[in-house]
Amino acid sequence: MNSENDYEVIKKCRVCGSLDVVDVLDLGMQPLANSLKQKANAQEEKYPLTLAFCQDCSLVQLRETIRKEILFDSYVWVTGTSETAKDYAKTFYERTVNISGLKKGDLVIEIASNDGIFLKPFYSEGFSVIGIEPAKNIAAMAKKIGIRTFEAYWNLTNAEKIVSDFGYAHVIFARNVIPHVSELHSVIQGIECCLDPEGVGIIEFHYSGIILEELHYDSIYHEHLCYFSIRSLEYLLNQFNLFSFHIDTSPISGGSYVIYFSRKKRQQSENYLNLLEKENLIGVNNVQTWNAFAKSCYEHREKSIDIAESFSSKTVLGFGASARSSTYLNFCGFDSAHIKAIIDNNPLKQGMYSPGGSIPIVTLKSGMQMNPDLIFILAWNFRDEIIKECRVNGYVGEFLVAFPQSPYYFRG
Binding site for Zn ion (CB under 5 A): 13, 15-16, 18, 54, 56-57, 59
Q: Which is nearer to Zn ion, 224 or 349 (CB)?
A: 224
Minimum distance between the CB of residue 30 and Zn ion, rounded to whole angstroms? 24
> CB 285 → Zn ion: shortest distance, Å?
11
In the complex with Zn ion, the residue whose CB is nearer, 293 or 380, is 293
Cβ-based nearer residue to Zn ion, 22 or 76:
22
Between CA 409 and CA 376 the distance in angstroms is 9
Which bin fits 253, alpha (ψ -120 to 50), beta or left (φ > 0)? left
3-state secondary structure (DSSP) of residue 218: helix
Minimum separation from the CB atom of position 232 to Zn ion (A): 7
- Closest approach of Zn ion to the CB of residue 51, in Å: 14
For residue 169, what are the CA distances in angstroms to 91, 102, 163, 202, 268?
21, 10, 8, 12, 22
Query: What distance in Å separates the CA atoms of residue 337 and residue 359, rounded to the nearest whole number?
Result: 9
Residue closest to 395 by CA, chosen among 378, 370, 361:
370
Q: What is the smallest separation between the CB atom of 279 and Zn ion, expressed in angstroms?
A: 16
Nearest CB to Zn ion, comparing residues 18 and 358:
18
Describe the crossing of helices 270-281 and 230-239 by its angle, rounded to 10 degrees: 120
Amino acid, res. 155: N
Q: Who contacts 66 (Cβ-Cβ below 8 Å, separation ≥6)? A: 6, 7, 32, 47, 222, 223
Nearer Cβ to Zn ion (228/257): 228
Least CB distance to Zn ion at residue 159 (A): 24
Handedness of CA 16, 22, 25, 27 (dihedral sign): positive
The nearer residue to Zn ion, 18 or 176, going by C-beta atoms, is 18
3-state secondary structure of 9: strand
